[in-house]
């Protein structure tokens, strides 16, 4: 019987470790990401984004790889991408943070007035149809948040 208890404790410890390092997003987090993205998109007349599990897995894998350093470095992958980090940062909060850059976008000139609205453009770009995101808790205590977009925002095209 003692062997079974030790085995059970070992399995629970491993499960707890993986839960802390690589937690799946809750429905609340997914809804927060999608709702905040779509609120910004409707303001400029663009259709809603759909959640994409392939993009979400890519994002979560990358977020899990940043647990040690929480570095704001892009994955350089095939998708559009936004990053954020902060203590307790949720999907909705990260998306609001990116959308806040709309103040640096001039709709009449059709461009950023400062080089600080690329995250916003990723959120609202009209050709993007799907989003998938991930969140990991870094060793420094901050949440690392990433969203990937398909198709990716392309500066040469009309930005929204």
Query: Across residues 84-92, what is the average pLDDT?
Result: 96
Segment 115-156, tens digit of pLDDT: 789 999 999 999 999 999 999 999 999 999 999 999 998 766
HSE-up of 28 (CA within 13 Å, CB side)? 2
- pLDDT tops 60 at residue 19: no
| Lowest-confidence segment of 5-14, 38-47, 83-92, 125-134 by average pLDDT | 5-14
Q: Would you say residue 1 has pLDDT above 70? A: no
Confidence at residue 5, expressed as pLDDT on a 0 to 100 scale? 54
For residue range 30-73, list pLDDT tens digits in order: 999 999 999 999 999 999 999 999 999 999 999 999 999 999 99
The predicted structure's pLDDT at residue 6: 52
Give the relative orientation of helices 91-99 and 27-43 as an angle to the nearest 10 degrees: 20
Ramachandran region of residue 51, left (φ > 0), alpha (ψ -120 to 50) or beta?
beta
The CATH number for 47-70+77-150, chosen from 3.40.33.10, 3.40.50.1240, 3.40.50.920, 3.50.50.60, is: 3.40.33.10
Mean of pLDDT over the chain: 86
């Amino acid at each position: 019987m003692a062997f079974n208890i030790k085995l059970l404790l070992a399995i629970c410890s491993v499960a707890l470790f993986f839960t802390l390092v690589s937690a799946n997003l809750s429905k609340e987090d997914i809804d927060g990401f999608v709702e905040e993205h779509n609120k910004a998109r409707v303001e400029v007349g663009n259709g809603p984004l759909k959640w994409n599990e392939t993009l979400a897995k890519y994002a979560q894998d990358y977020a899990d790889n940043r647990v040690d350093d929480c570095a704001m470095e892009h994955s350089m992958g095939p998708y559009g991408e936004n990053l954020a980090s902060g203590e307790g940062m949720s999907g909705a909060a990260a998306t609001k943070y990116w959308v806040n850059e709309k103040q640096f976008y001039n709709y009449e000139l059709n461009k950023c007035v400062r080089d600080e609205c690329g995250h916003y453009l990723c959120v609202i770009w009209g050709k993007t149809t799907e989003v998938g995101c991930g969140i990991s808790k870094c060793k420094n205590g901050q949440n690392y948040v990433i969203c990937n977009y398909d198709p990716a925002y392309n500066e040469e095209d009309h930005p929204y």
